[in-house]
Amino acid sequence: MRRLHVLYRPLKLLFPGGRAKPWGRLASCRWASFTTDTTLPDVNSFVARSKTCGELRSAHIGQEVTLCGWIQYKRHEQFVVLRDFQGLTQILIPQVEVSAIENCFCSFLMQTGDIEVKAETAEVLNYCKKLPFEIKDFTKKTEALRMQYRYLDIRSIQMQYNLRLRSQVVMRMREYLCNCYDFVDVETPTLFKKTPGGAKEFVVPSREAGKFYSLPQSPQQFKQLLMVGGLDRYFQVARCYRDEGSKPDRQPEFTQIDIEMSFVDQDGILALIEGMLQYSWPKEKGLIKIPFPSITYDEALSTYGTDKPDTRFGMKIIDVSHILRNVDVAFLQNSLSEPHGTVKAICIPQGAKLQFKDLESLNELSIFFWEFGMKSPLGKFLSEEQKSELIRTVEANMEDVVLLAAGQHKKVCSALGKLRLKSAELLEAKGLLLRDPSAFHFLWVVEFPLFLPKEKNPEELEAAHHPFTAPHPLDEHLLYSDPSQVRGQHYDLVLNGNEIGGGSIRIHNAKQQRFILEKVLKEDTELLFHLLEALESGAPPHGGIALGLDRLICLLVGGSSIRDVIAFPKSFRGRDLMSNAPDYVDPQELEPYHVQVTWPLTEAKARTN
Amino acid sequence: MRRLHVLYRPLKLLFPGGRAKPWGRLASCRWASFTTDTTLPDVNSFVARSKTCGELRSAHIGQEVTLCGWIQYKRHEQFVVLRDFQGLTQILIPQVEVSAIENCFCSFLMQTGDIEVKAETAEVLNYCKKLPFEIKDFTKKTEALRMQYRYLDIRSIQMQYNLRLRSQVVMRMREYLCNCYDFVDVETPTLFKKTPGGAKEFVVPSREAGKFYSLPQSPQQFKQLLMVGGLDRYFQVARCYRDEGSKPDRQPEFTQIDIEMSFVDQDGILALIEGMLQYSWPKEKGLIKIPFPSITYDEALSTYGTDKPDTRFGMKIIDVSHILRNVDVAFLQNSLSEPHGTVKAICIPQGAKLQFKDLESLNELSIFFWEFGMKSPLGKFLSEEQKSELIRTVEANMEDVVLLAAGQHKKVCSALGKLRLKSAELLEAKGLLLRDPSAFHFLWVVEFPLFLPKEKNPEELEAAHHPFTAPHPLDEHLLYSDPSQVRGQHYDLVLNGNEIGGGSIRIHNAKQQRFILEKVLKEDTELLFHLLEALESGAPPHGGIALGLDRLICLLVGGSSIRDVIAFPKSFRGRDLMSNAPDYVDPQELEPYHVQVTWPLTEAKARTN
C-alpha cells in the first residue's frame, strides 16, 4: 500500500476520552443512490467539512481539506483513523496533539488506503464517555439494551443502511406518484373520531368534558372524502395508530403508503402499485418483474392453505381424495363422507432428513407419514396401484416425505399450509436452501369474500376487510339474498408470504353503502353520517390501496423485525425504553382534560399505604 | 367559434339528479407543474378515462376518447358540458340519453372550445342530491358551513389550487433535500413522553394504569438523538401537536419541515434554507432572491418594534431623542431621564388621509400628532430649527403624519411597531397600496437573547426558545456571571411580517447543557436523562431549523387562514365540524386505559337527573 501525504487545514476531529471507541467496525461504503439524474447528491455543502472520510483518493493529493468525524482508533502513537458514515481516513497528527489513546489492531479494508492526511490543525469537538458496550457488539446485546441506547444502536452499519435505504425508497415512490403520475400528497388529520367497530383505537381526551379524539387506524374515510372532493389522485405517507396491546412485531404507530384514485378499477390500482414498486426498488436488490402473478382467495387456500402464500418454494397442497376414496380406513372414510370432506397431501422434498418428532410436533389433524419404502402405518392398507398413483400424483421422489390430512376442506388446507411452512423452516434449519433469501416473490390475492361469519357468533356477518369495500360486480345480486357468498373487490399484496398491503374498489353508491352497514353488518350509521352524505353528493367511482411501509422495508433489508427499520420503535409492550414513555403524569395536568386515573385495586392499595 | 365533432366511445358521465349542479364555476386550468424533467406527469394512466376534460384540441379530431367527470350543465337539450379538475368539454349526447336537466346559461371560457365530442355511449356513474348550496357560492358561506361540508368545499377552485400547490412545493423541498443534498427522511414517534415545561401537550392514556404518552410539539429531542446516532443530515415533514385551547388560527395538529445537520454552523443552516425555498418556490409566484437579508433581534426591535418585521414597507422607527432633549415639556424630560429613556418617531406617508380618531384608538403611550403646518400641541414648544431638524430626520413630506412616543426604549419601540402596522392597515383600507400582495419579503432575525425573564416572576429566567439552544460563542463566559445578557445561536425566518420558521445551533456539550437546565432554568433534568447521556456519548456539534409548513403555504397562496391550506382542519375550538370530533366515548371503552371522566359539577348534575 502506497502512503502519500495530503496537506490541509483545519482538521476537525472528535476525540473520544479514555479508551472508549464510540464506533464499531464498518466497511467503508457509499449508500446506493437512487436519484433520477446522474449527478450524485452533494454531501459536503453547508457544513464544516470539505470532504467526507470516505472520499479522498490519490487524485486529491496536495489539496487542503477539512474532515469532521469520530476517532476510530489510534495507531503507533501518531496516526489517527477518523471515521464518519462514508468511511475511514488515516490522519498523521502532530505529536503534541496526540493524547494517550490505546493502540488498536487494524484489519480494515480502507478505500482511502492510497492516501493519508497530514494534519495542520486539529480540534477536539467533543468527548465520549465510556460506552455501555462497543458498537460492533451491539447486535449481540439484548434488544432491550439496544432500545435503551437507541442513539448508539443507530450508529451500527445495519441501522444506518436500513434508515437510509428506507428514505431513498420512499423518495422514489413519491417521485413516481407525484412527478410521473400527478398524484397529490394530502395530509389528513390524526386527531379524529372513533370509527364504527374501531376497537384498538387510542383515545385522546379533549378540553371538553367527556369528549375524546381517536387516533385513526388509517386515513380511510378521509381519502374517500377527498375523492368526493375531486382530488382524484391522492397519496400520503400516513402515520397510523393501533392499540394492540402486546402483539409481537406490531407497533402502536406505524406508517402506510396510502393511495386513492377516482374512475379506477382493480386492474388500474394493481398496475399502479406494480409500477411504483418496480420504480422504487433499489438496484442493489435486483430487478422485479411485473405484472405480479395473481391468485384468487379460494385458490390460495386450496393450494397453500393460507391467504398469504409464500411462493418462493413449492410443496403445494394436492387433493388425493380420489385415490384414497376406497381405502378401508375408518378415519378416511369418515372424513370423506363429511360435507366438504377431503383428503389432501403435501410432498416434502428430502423430508426423510427430518426427525419423526419434528413432524409430530406439528400434528393437528391425523397425519400419516409416507416415504419410499412405505414406512407409514397407512401403507399396509393401500394396494400397489394406489401407492404408485399417490406417488405419481404428489410427484414424490426417493427421500421425500408425504404428509396427508383428511377432514373438512378449509381445516385440512389450513393445517397443511402450516405444516408446509413449518417443514420448510425445519429443512432450512438442517441446511437445505428452500427459499432464496435474496428473492422477492410478489403475489396478488384477489376475490376475497366480502363478509365473514363473526368468530363469536357465526350467525352474524362482519366485513372481511372494512365496510366500504365494493362487492364483485358478478355477485351484486347476492347481497340481498345470500351475502355470505358475495366476493368483494378487495386485493391483498403478498411478498414472500407476508401481507404487505391491501385495498379495494369502494362503494360509491350511498344506498348500497347504507344497506350493507345497516342490514348486513347491523352497524350504527350515525358515526358515518358525513360519509354517507358525501356519497350522495356526486361521489365518483373510486378505489385505493395501502402498503405497510415498515413491513415492506423490513423484508427488503432482510430485517428480523419491523423494529429494525424504525428509528425509535416501541417495545412489544408499547414502551419507549430510551425515554421511559409512557410515564406517570401529575394529576393536575389531567385536570384540563376532565379525566382521572382509575387505579386497579392492588395498586390503589399500594398507593394509599 | 368553430364546431368540430370528435367520435369516441365509451363516454362515461356522472349525471347529477334533478336541478343540482355539484360544480361551481371554474376557469379551465392546468396546475403548474414543478417536475425536474421536462415531461409532464401522465394524468390518464391506470384509470377509465383516456383524456381529461381540459385536454382535447382540434388536433384530436377523429380520435375515440373516454372522458369521466361531473355534469357542469346541459345546453339546448342535447349538449352536456362535462367537467373535471382539468377543465370542461362540450358533449353532444344522443337524444335518448338526455334526461330533463334544466338549461343553463353558459359564460365560460372553454379552452377546449375548438372541439366538441359526439357521444357514442354514455354511462351514469352516480347521482347527486340537492346540495346545501352551490359550490361557486361556497366562499360566501360561513366558515362553519364550509367545514361541515368540507368535501364539497374542497371542490372549489381555490382549495384545489391550494392543496395541489402545497403538494408540489413539498415535493420540491424533498427533491432538494434528498436528491440534491443527501438528507435522510426519518420518521420519529408521535407517541412519546412529556417534555419538561411542555404544557400544551395532549396526553394519550396507555394500558398501564396511570401512565400516559404525550403527543410531542416537535421532534426536537429525536432529531438531536439522530445526530448523536450519526445520521448527519436529517429531515422530516413532521406532524406536530399543540393544545392551545381556542387560539385563533392555530391548529391542534400542524406540520413542520424539520431539519437537523451535524458539523454545521448558523450560516450553513441559513444557506440551506435559502436554497431550499428558492428551489421549491412556484414559478408562477416569481423568483425569490437569495441570500435573504438578516437583522439582529435588537435592531429589529429598534427599527420595527417587533422581532418579526414586515419589511415590505418603510415607516421605520427613528430615534429623535437628540432633537427633543432640550424641549421644555415635562413628559419628554421625564421620559428621557428614565433609564433607557428615549423619544422615537415614525413617519406615516400620506398620514393626513387618516382621521384623528383612527389614530387615537392606537394610543398606548403619549402620542403626538405632527403634520406639516404643525397641528400638534407639541408644535408650539419647538423652535423653527428643531422643527426642521425633526422633519429632516424622519424624512417627512407634505401630507405625512409623524407619530412620536417617549418612554422606556423597549416599550416605545413596541408601541410604535404596533402603530406602524395599524397605520399601514388603515391607509390600505383607504385605498393606498403600501404592501404589494404579490411580494415576498424574507428576513432572518438573529442574535436573540438566550433567556428571558419569566413573565410571572421576572427574577427567574426561562429559555427564550428552548433549553437546547447554544449560547453565542462571544457570550459564553456570561453564562456563569450574567446569563440574562447571553445571546443565543437562534435564528428566526420571517416572511412579510410572519414568523415562518426558527432554529438554532444546539448545545452538544453535556456539561453546558446540564448547567443551563439545572442552574439557569431550574428544570428537573430527570425527564431529559436520556438526552444528557446521549450528549456524553460523542455527540457531534449540530444545529437545525423547523419551518411552519401550513403558515408558509398560506402566505404563498395569499390565504386568509391556515385552514385554507389544510384539507380537513379543525375549528378554532379544536372541533372537526364534519364528523363532529371530539365526541363522547362509551365508559366501557375507557376501561382498558384506566381513566374515567371527571364531569364538571353542572354537567354531572344534569346527567344524574
Task: For residue A96, count other CB atoms closer than 10 A to its CB.
Answer: 6
| Cα–Cα distance for residue pair A201/B586, rounded to 1 Å | 13
Contact across the interface for B582 and A530, Cβ inside 8 Å: no
| Cα–Cα distance for residue pair A26/A70, rounded to 1 Å | 13
Q: For residue B32, is pLDDT > 60? A: no
* pLDDT (tens digit per residue) in A178-229: 999 999 999 999 999 988 765 689 999 999 999 999 999 999 999 999 999 9
* pLDDT (tens digit per residue) in A264-292: 999 999 999 999 999 999 999 999 999 99
Selecting from A41, A194, A263 the residue whose C-beta is nearest the C-beta of B68 gives A263
* The predicted structure's pLDDT at residue B114: 82
Selecting from B46, B180, B261 the residue whose C-beta is nearest the C-beta of A42 gives B180
Selecting from A190, A206, A536 the residue whose C-beta is nearest the C-beta of B582 gives A206
| 3-state secondary structure (DSSP) of residue B59 | helix
* The predicted structure's pLDDT at residue B92: 86
Best residue in A231, A250, A535 for a mutation probing chain B (most B CBs within 10 Å): A231
Contact across the interface for A253 and B538, Cβ inside 8 Å: no
Q: How far is CA A347 from the centre of its chain?
A: 30
Q: How far is CA A577 from the centre of its chain?
A: 22
Q: For residue B573, is pLDDT > 60? A: yes
Q: For residue A587, is pLDDT > 70? A: yes
* B204 neighbourhood in chain A, CB within 8 Å: 202-204, 215, 582
The mean pLDDT value for A551-563 works out to: 96
Q: For residue B572, is pLDDT > 90? A: no
Best residue in A128, A184, A273 for a mutation probing chain B (most B CBs within 10 Å): A184
Smallest CA–CA distance, residue A495 to chain B, in Å, is 22
| Cα–Cα distance for residue pair B472/B486, rounded to 1 Å | 7
Q: What confidence tier does A168 reach under pLDDT thresholds 50, 70, 90?
A: very high
* A212 neighbourhood in chain B, CB within 8 Å: 582-585
Q: For residue A574, is pLDDT > 60? A: yes
Task: Please give the ipTM for the structure prediction.
Answer: 0.90
* pLDDT (tens digit per residue) in B187-208: 999 999 988 765 689 999 999 9
Q: For residue A231, is pLDDT > 90? A: yes
The C-alpha cell that represents A304 in the structure block: 397453500
Q: For residue A29, is pLDDT > 50? A: no
Asked whether the beta carbons of A546 and A258 are under 8 A apart, the reply is yes
Nearest-CA neighbor of A406 among A314, A491, A320, A471?
A320
Residues pairing with A264 in the sheet: B47
Q: For residue B6, is pLDDT > 80? A: no
The C-alpha cell that represents A148 in the structure block: 435503551
Q: For residue B154, is pLDDT > 70? A: yes
Please, what is the average pLDDT of chain B?
85
| Cα–Cα distance for residue pair A546/A236, rounded to 1 Å | 10
* The predicted structure's pLDDT at residue B197: 65
Indicate the residue type of A601.
L
* The predicted structure's pLDDT at residue B358: 67
Q: For residue B281, what is the DSSP state?
A: S
* The predicted structure's pLDDT at residue B428: 93
Residues 6+ apart with CB under 8 A from A565: A162, A163, A166, A550, A553, A554, A557, A559
pLDDT above 90 covers a percentage of chain B that reads: 57
For chain A, what is the largest distance between any 2 Cα atoms, rounded to a whole number of angstroms?
A: 93
| Cα–Cα distance for residue pair B175/B104, rounded to 1 Å | 46
Q: Which helix (H) or strand (E) holds B304?
A: helix B297-304
The dihedral region occupied by A72, where left means phi > 0, alpha psi between -120 and 50, and beta the remainder, is alpha
Contact across the interface for A128 and B536, Cβ inside 8 Å: yes
The mean pLDDT value for A112-132 works out to: 85
What beta strand segments (E) does A328-410 contain? 341-348, 368-371, 401-408
* The predicted structure's pLDDT at residue B297: 98
Smallest CA–CA distance, residue B247 to chain A, in Å, is 13
Q: What confidence tier does A140 reach under pLDDT thresholds 50, 70, 90?
A: confident
Angle between helix B409-429 and helix B297-304 axes, rounded to 10 deg: 60
Residues pairing with A81 in the sheet: A73, A90
| Cα–Cα distance for residue pair A417/A402, rounded to 1 Å | 14
* pLDDT (tens digit per residue) in B234-289: 999 999 999 986 677 889 999 999 999 999 999 999 999 999 999 999 999 999 99
Q: For residue A60, is pLDDT > 70? A: yes
Angle between helix B157-174 and helix B549-557 axes, rounded to 10 deg: 130
Q: What confidence tier does A77 reach under pLDDT thresholds 50, 70, 90?
A: low
Which segment of A329-333, A343-347, B8-12 scores lowest on mean pLDDT? B8-12
* The predicted structure's pLDDT at residue A439: 95
* The predicted structure's pLDDT at residue B103: 32
| Cα–Cα distance for residue pair A201/A193, rounded to 1 Å | 10
* The predicted structure's pLDDT at residue B104: 31
The C-alpha cell that represents B608 in the structure block: 344524574
pLDDT above 70 covers a percentage of chain B that reads: 84
Angle at A18 between CA A15 and CA A20, to 5 degrees: 80
| 3-state secondary structure (DSSP) of residue B212 | strand
Contact across the interface for A567 and B222, Cβ inside 8 Å: yes
* pLDDT (tens digit per residue) in A238-271: 999 999 866 778 899 999 999 999 999 999 999 9
Q: How would you list the strands of the sheet with A341-348, edge to edge?
A: A318-319, A341-348, A401-408, A368-371
Q: For residue A49, is pLDDT > 80? A: yes
* The predicted structure's pLDDT at residue B95: 59
Which segment of A369-383, B67-81, B356-370 scores lowest on mean pLDDT? B356-370
pLDDT above 90 covers a percentage of chain A that reads: 57
* pLDDT (tens digit per residue) in B412-443: 999 899 989 989 998 999 899 899 989 999 99
Size of interface A-B (CB pairs under 8 A): 421
* B553 neighbourhood in chain A, CB within 8 Å: none
Q: What is the pTM of this model?
A: 0.90
* The predicted structure's pLDDT at residue B14: 54
Q: For residue A318, is pLDDT > 60? A: yes
* A583 neighbourhood in chain B, CB within 8 Å: 193-194, 211-212
Nearest-CA neighbor of A180 among B53, B48, B44?
B44
Q: What confidence tier does A109 reach under pLDDT thresholds 50, 70, 90?
A: low
Q: Which helix (H) or strand (E) holds B147?
A: helix B143-148
Please, what is the average pLDDT of chain A?
85
Contacts made by residues B82-86, CB under 8 angstroms, sequence distance 24+:
B82/B13, B82/B53, B83/B23, B83/B26, B83/B53, B84/A230, B84/A232, B84/B52, B84/B53, B84/B54, B85/A230, B85/A231, B85/A232, B85/B26, B85/B160, B86/B28, B86/B30, B86/B43, B86/B52, B86/B53, B86/B54, B86/B55
